[in-house]
Amino acid sequence: MNRGIRMVRLGAALAAAALLASCASMSEKECLSADWHDQGYRDGRNGQSLSRIEDHREACAKVGVAPDLAAYKAGRAKGILEYCTADNGVREGRRGAGYRNACPPELEGRFLDHYRAGKRVYDAEQRVNNLDSRARDLQRRLDKEKDDDKRKRLRQELRDLDWSLRNARNDVYEAERRLRY
Asked, for residue 55, whether it belongs to a domain, the answer is no
Sign, Cα dihedral of 37, 39, 40, 42: positive
CA torsion through residues 9, 13, 19, 20, sign: positive
Q: How confident is the model at residue 18 (pLDDT cuts 50, 70, 90)?
A: very low
Residue 97 predicted with pLDDT over 90: yes
In a domain, 156, yes or no: yes
For residues 40-49, give the mean pLDDT.
96
Domain residues for 102? Answer: 85-181
Q: Looking at the domain assignment, is residue 37 inside a domain?
A: no
Residue 5: its pLDDT value, please?
59
Does residue 158 sit within a domain?
Answer: yes
127: in domain: yes
The reply to whether 181 falls in a domain is: yes
For residues 37 and 72, the answer to whether their CB atoms sit within 8 Å is: yes
Q: Indicate the pLDDT class of residue 37, thresholds 50, 70 and 90.
A: very high
Considering its fold, how many domains does the chain have in total?
1
Q: What is the pLDDT of residue 21?
A: 41
Residue 72 in any domain: the answer is no
51, part of any domain = no
What's the average model confidence in pLDDT over 98-120?
96
Q: What percent of the chain has pLDDT over 90?
A: 82
Hey, is 158 helix, strand or coil?
helix
